[in-house]
Structure 1
Amino acid sequence: MDYDVLAIIEGYAQGYFLMAEDDESLQWYSSRDRTIIPLDDRFRYPKSLQRVLNSDKFTVAINRDFKAVVTGCANRETTWISQELQNIYWTLYLNGWAYSFETWLGDELAGGILGIAIGGIFIGESMFYRIPNGSKVAMVKLVEKLRSQSFVLFDAQMMNPHLERFGAYCIADVEYQGLLKKALMRRCSLR
């Protein structure tokens, strides 16, 4: 199936995100409150994770196995990542918009974060792990990468307890739109 990549990117660039309903039909969503992962000193993580980071147990890669990350993110009892949305992510990946930020234990995929990068915004779509701490290490390393590349915004869309442990916070849509506009003016890269 062919997708209008530019129309999809335009939707994300306006602050919307795609999710599948129970019947698997895709819908665009927005939120009055948007969850942001801080890229400044408000970012934090559990102290126990520092030992894992210091051990260099995991290696980090970008797009080493994009499809496996999408599959891992969708592999849940209840998921909003339908097969059609997986196909859209693949199309966005092929066109240079979607990324998987991965952790590996040897040759085994430990965890990852799926997202879309537009200008200076990284839109985190989902994350998963197969090995304990795999997604947590991916989060820390992704934030380090976004900082090093001068990204303005890490949009996590909706709050959950896992994200709160990393210092995630909610902002009103009006503040989000201002940050989004600033982020879209940047030319950042995950490469």
Structure 2
Amino acid sequence: MRLPWLDPRDDGQPFPHPDRALTEPDGLLAVGGNLSPRRLLRAYRLGIFPWYSPGQPILWWSPDPRLVLLPEALKISRSLRKTLRRGLFAVTADADFTAVIAACAAPRDLEPGTWITPEMNRAYNRLHRLGHAHSIEVWHQGELVGGLYGVAVGRVFFGESMFCRMSDASKVALVHLTAQLRRWGFAVIDCQVRTPHLTSLGAADIPRATFLQLLERYCALPGPVGPWRLDADLIAEPATRTAPP
């Protein structure tokens, strides 16, 4: 099957419907285009995201099923809850987006490469300056030790990547993000594809058709824009449920 080619000069060229995505590799939908804010935001509203390696053209994906985390379904193990109560970390939002995406792009153990190319880095920093992309930072003694970033459209948060330099730091970031999003009335956090790390925290697969219905409903609702700030009493709020260690 020949994949649709998106003209990088034409931001208005529509995406093919996600139903046309390949089953192998799962979700590959289109090639080409660009990473302009207009195209990226349109893609997210349609359940499509870019993911490609250095040297490849831009590849657009919409896998089926789709891994999502409903804010009320977040699971916190007893050991993680203990970490939260110890107060080891300071957690912020949009305090250093550039540092977070750079940390997510850094090579990791057993993963020498990165899919966060310089082009992707610039594109998401641009979305951040426009108030659409956001980061959560986790600090220990003034050092950035964990975090995540993603894109908000209406009341849906599309998670892109996270990193961890200290035990539980990325989990702490997700707990704070989820609690804040629940308070703001967000319906879903898109986690894209299944990983053991995210499923252990309560994320679950849903059919792509169901995911697209959620986007149609909740991306149209007003959501917070501009720089985010976390409420000071998030962890005191019983927004999560305890899971076994």
8 Å CA contact 2:65–2:205 kept in 1: the answer is yes
Paired with 2:206 and 2:175, the residues of 1 have a C-alpha distance of 21
Query: Which of 78, 87, 97 is the aligned partner of 2:113?
Result: 78
8 Å CA contact 2:40–2:49 kept in 1: the answer is no
The gaps in structure 2 that reach 5 residues or longer are: 1-33, 230-245
Q: Which has the larger radius of gyration?
A: 2
1:99 paired residue number? 134
TM-score (norm 1): 0.94
Deviation at 1:4, TM superposition (A): 2.8
1:15 counterpart = 2:47: yes
Deviation at 1:50, TM superposition (A): 0.7
Query: Which of 55, 61, 68 is the aligned partner of 2:99?
Result: 68
Deviation at 1:102, TM superposition (A): 1.2
1:123 paired residue number? 158
Deviation at 1:97, TM superposition (A): 0.8
Deviation at 1:32, TM superposition (A): 1.3
Query: Which of 220, 223, 237 is the aligned partner of 1:185?
Result: 220
Deviation at 1:24, TM superposition (A): 4.3
Question: How many equivalent residue pairs?
Answer: 189
Q: 1:80 to 1:3 in 2, by over 3 A?
A: closer
1:35 counterpart = 2:67: yes
The structure whose RCO (Cα within 8 Å, separation 6+) is larger is: 1
> Is 154-163 or 22-31 further displaced after alignment?
22-31
Deviation at 1:98, TM superposition (A): 0.6
Alignment of 1:88-167 (within 5 A): 88-167=123-202
Tell me which amino acid in the other structure corresponds to 1:109: L
> Is 116-125 or 55-64 further displaced after alignment?
55-64
Deviations 1:43-97 (A, max 9, x none): 2022211111001111111111111100111112232111110111111111111
**Aligned to 1:45, what secondary structure does the other structure show?**
strand
Tell me which amino acid in the other structure corresponds to 1:48: S
How large is the Cα RMSD of the aligned pairs?
1.5
Deviation at 1:152, TM superposition (A): 1.1
Paired with 1:24 and 1:90, the residues of 2 have a C-alpha distance of 21
**Aligned to 2:167, what secondary structure does the other structure show?**
coil
8 Å CA contact 1:152–1:182 kept in 2: the answer is no
Q: Which has the higher helix share?
A: 1
**Aligned to 2:149, what secondary structure does the other structure show?**
strand
The gaps in structure 1 that reach 5 residues or longer are: none
1:44 counterpart = 2:79: no
Paired with 1:45 and 1:174, the residues of 2 have a C-alpha distance of 28
Paired with 1:3 and 1:166, the residues of 2 have a C-alpha distance of 30
Paired with 2:119 and 2:57, the residues of 1 have a C-alpha distance of 9
Paired with 2:202 and 2:213, the residues of 1 have a C-alpha distance of 21
Deviation at 1:25, TM superposition (A): 2.9
Q: Percent identity?
A: 33
TM-score (norm 2): 0.74
Tell me which amino acid in the other structure corresponds to 1:45: I
Deviations 1:118-140 (A, max 9, x none): 10000000000112111010011
